[in-house]
Amino acid sequence: MSSDVTSIERRQFDTLIIGAGGGGLRASLQLAEADLSVAVVSKVFPTRSHTVAAQGGMNAALANVSPDNWHWHMFDTVKGSDYLGDQDAIEYMCRAAPKAVYELEHFGVPFSRLDNGKIYQRAFGGQSQNFGGDQASRTCAAADRTGHAILHSLYQQNIRAKTHFFDEYFAVDLIKDDEGHVLGAVIFNIQNGQIMVIEAKTTLLATGGAGQLFKTTTNALINTGDGMGMAMRAGIPLQDMEFFQFHPTGIAGRGMLITEGARGEGGYLVNGDGERLMERYAPKAKDLASRDVVSRAIAVEVREGRGCGPNKDHVLLKLDHLGEAVIQKRLPGIRQTCITFLGIDPAETPIPVFPTAHYTMGGIPTNRFGQVVVPVKDTPEEPVAGLYAAGECACVSVHGGNRLGGNSLLDILVFGRAAANHIIDYLKENKYHRSANEESVNEIVAKIKRYDQPPSSSDTASETVANLRKELKQTMEDHCSVFRNKEILKEGVDKVEQLAERMKNVRIDDQSFTFNTAKVEAFELENLMACALAAIHSAYAREESRGAHSRTDFTERDDKSWMRHSLYSFENGLDYKPVRTKPLSVESFPPKPRVY
């Protein structure tokens, strides 16, 4: 593609949504139904977004299986977050949850049913009745394919509502005007390389997480933190990136997820001595303790020589006692995964598991209306005009230091909808398109075209995307994993800095038909690098253990010094802002020791 900038196609919409997962599609549906013109850009066909892979379900206090209410759900979420979650956003989400589920039901999501016809709810980690009492069952499920059901229903509703889709287009960077309003993005068509400028009065980032930062992950190859990279390049800091969730039950050595629902249905973990290990680490909740707790327990068992298998490098998840009928009814997807990838049937043989990178708790800072917020002078947060974020790329923050299973599908739907509602109001006051700063548009176009030049003979020392990505993933796995300390993190900081430096010399050799996908991979790596810098710097600086951030040299939570959100930007490095501890209508939950 060699057209000059003036000939580049431009399209105008009220709202540009980057990302067609559950977050993006819930927002686009709300906007399209309000008769606004809305464009959804997605680098993969919408129903291939990672939301499709969600297995276990979505939390809402429906009380269909055990007594429940939103306030108990709120308590569990605040405790699960290790008191780093913002309590206004958490209250809002937990109160909105039942409505979000009923909406989905009306959109056509085929939830599993109880015998009385009500929506089936399973027990998940960190769920309790009565503020820390008995186990609750709060996770609404469509067997173990909940995300698949939700994403397909939302897509169909969007087609009906006439949302405009740009499928298999890659968004590179945000465009702005001279006053800092965000006005859309420059994208390119992955099939033919054609560049396009989408001008929009409002832009919503819904690009999902960054699990590809790590070598072993449950995340899809597309989860490369693109929106987070775009935000950082637009001068917006990333929040709480040191908090990365490791799911306790990834298939050992491969990373594919075995849903927490497997333990919710009665499965449990055993070590090499045949012991039910969680009884020691969480006497009450056992296998349904919070994810950070279970992941650490498995890592300790293996480290202390009580692992399973010839290398004693994993533990076993036992499901065979549940019986084939329960497994086939409630967990058909993971049964198939085990048969296909391991050649074992969990109805007969326990599954080898080990913690694997799963969920990005941090992200682009927003308030509970989905507005992206940044510190300005003495205020901890002021909205960036025209820019919104929702879903896993955002940090609102309802998950704080550790997300509870089943709270992410809830988060993306509740805040996708909330962002759309705020956009509808914003557009009533901001009726007209503004002019973008053309220089910044030209710079992005030039950046895309940079890779069009074949490498010259003097470029022999240039770096390949594949090698750098491999090194980055290994570095993050080795230096920013379940357990961390000063030395390991310091080495990690140095290595990631060096990799980011080497990134400047990346060239694409391949001018063949795969050229555009090679270009996509180069931009994805640039975004991963930004996320990695934010994560490793924030982790190195945080001298305490909280949620998923577990330091062997600072083993206690330190509320006096560290009950605050980290912010990392290219311009200012590290900064911090207070946790919003005040809920909307109830008393705040003060920090307490976290036991399960």
Ligand X SMILES: Cc1cc2nc3c(=O)[nH]c(=O)nc-3n(C[C@H](O)[C@H](O)[C@H](O)COP(=O)(O)OP(=O)(O)OC[C@H]3O[C@@H](n4cnc5c(N)ncnc54)[C@H](O)[C@@H]3O)c2cc1C
Footprint of ligand X (CB under 6 A): 18-24, 41-44, 46, 49-51, 53-58, 146-147, 170-171, 206-209, 218-219, 222-223, 226, 257, 259, 359, 391-393, 406-409, 412
Q: Which is it for the CA torsion 528, 529, 534, 540, positive or negative?
A: positive
Residue whose C-alpha is closest to residue 93's, from 373, 395, 566, 415: 415
In terms of CB distance, is 43 or 314 closer to ligand X?
A: 43
Query: Which one-letter DSSP state was computed for residue 128?
Result: E
How far apart (Å, rounded) are the C-alpha atoms in residues 330 and 141? 9
Contact 135, 123 (CB under 8 A): yes
Q: How many CB atoms lie within 10 A of CB 34?
A: 15
Angle in degrees, CA 488, 493, 495, rounded to 5: 95
The CB-of-331 to ligand X minimum distance in angstroms stands at: 12
Cβ of residue 574: shortest distance to ligand X, in angstroms?
25
b/e per residue 468-506 (b: at least 16 CB within 10 A): bbebbbebbbebbbbebeeebbeebbebbeebbebbeeb
Q: How far is the CB of 65 from ligand X (least distance, A)?
A: 17
Write down the least CB distance from residue 178 to ligand X, Å: 25
Least separation in angstroms between residue 273's CB and ligand X is: 30
Q: Please identify the residue of the shown chain whose CB is closest to the bound ligand X.
A: 21
Tell me how many degrees the CA angle 79-85-88 measures, rounded to the nearest 5: 105
Residue 164 CB, nearest distance to ligand X (Å)?
14
- Catalytic, 303? Answer no
Q: Judged by CB, which is closer to ligand X: 109, or 489?
A: 109
Closer of 104 and 270 to ligand X (Cβ): 104
Indicate the residue among 352 and 406 with the shorter CB distance to ligand X: 406
Min dist CB 537 to ligand X, Å, is 23
CA distance 72 to 93: 12
CA distance 576 to 562: 9
Nearest residue (CB) to ligand X, 94 versus 409:
409
Neighbours of 591 (CB within 10 A): 17
| Residue appearing with tokens 């805040």 | 415
- Residue of 48, 122, 291, 594 marked active site: 291
Question: Among residues 198 and 424, whose Cβ is nearest to ligand X?
Answer: 198
d(CA 447, CA 195): 11
- Cβ–Cβ < 8 Å for 40, 20: yes
Tokens standing for residue 169: 């287009």
Strand, coil or helix: 32 = helix
DSSP 144: T
As annotated, the active-site residues are: 291
